[in-house]
Each structure stands twice: as C-alpha cells, then as structure tokens.
Amino acid sequence: MEPRPMIMIEKIRYLESNHFSDWLDTRRKVDDELSSKQTMMCVCGRLATGMHERSCSRYNAKVNSETVKRLKHLLPAKVAA
Ligand SMILES: [Zn+2]
C-alpha cells in the first residue's frame, strides 16, 4: 500500500499519544489566543462565553486544527494506508 497523507483526526491522535505535553501546552496557548480574539461572537455565530467555547464543536475544531498546524514539525508526513 502507498503511504498517504494523514487526515486531521489521525494527526490529533498521533500528537495526543506521542507528544502529549506539547499537544496540551500548545492547545492551551491557541485556545487562549483564539478565545481572546473572539470577544463577542464565537466562530459558530453564538455568544462567545467561556462556557460556550468549551462545548462548541466548531470552536474546538478550529483550536485543534491551529494546534496541529503549530506542531506540524512533530508529525510524520505520511502514514501507511
Ligand atoms: Zn460556538
């Protein structure tokens, strides 16, 4: 089988299981930054309260993808299909 690029969920799982403290630290930093950027409205259009952000799947997906982007250097480029 040809190696293929990892999909987002695999990148998240890989980072969580192989670089847990980097994942946690960077994710917390990204969460703080994004949360302070959206002072009124969340990415989903609802009111951006801390409680909402914790449970908002669109917001959390955004935090995850930004965290993955910042930890890109820790990821293998491709995985076995
Ligand atoms: Zn939201």
Spacing, Cα 64 to ligand 1 middle (Å): 14
Going from the Cα of 81 to the center of ligand 1, the distance in angstroms, rounded, reads 34
**Residue burial 37-72, b: 16+ Cβ < 10 Å; e: rest:** eeeeebbeeeebeeeebeebeebeebbbebbbeebe
Distance, CA 12 to ligand 1 centroid (Å)? 20
Higher pLDDT, 1 or 40: 40
Contact status, residue 61 vs residue 67, Cβ threshold 8 Å: no
Tens digits of per-residue pLDDT, 4-51? 988 999 999 999 999 999 999 999 999 999 999 998 999 999 999 999
pLDDT tens by residue, 47-79 = 999 999 999 999 999 999 999 999 999 998 777
- What are the tokens at 32? 């703080």
What pTM does this model have? Answer: 0.88
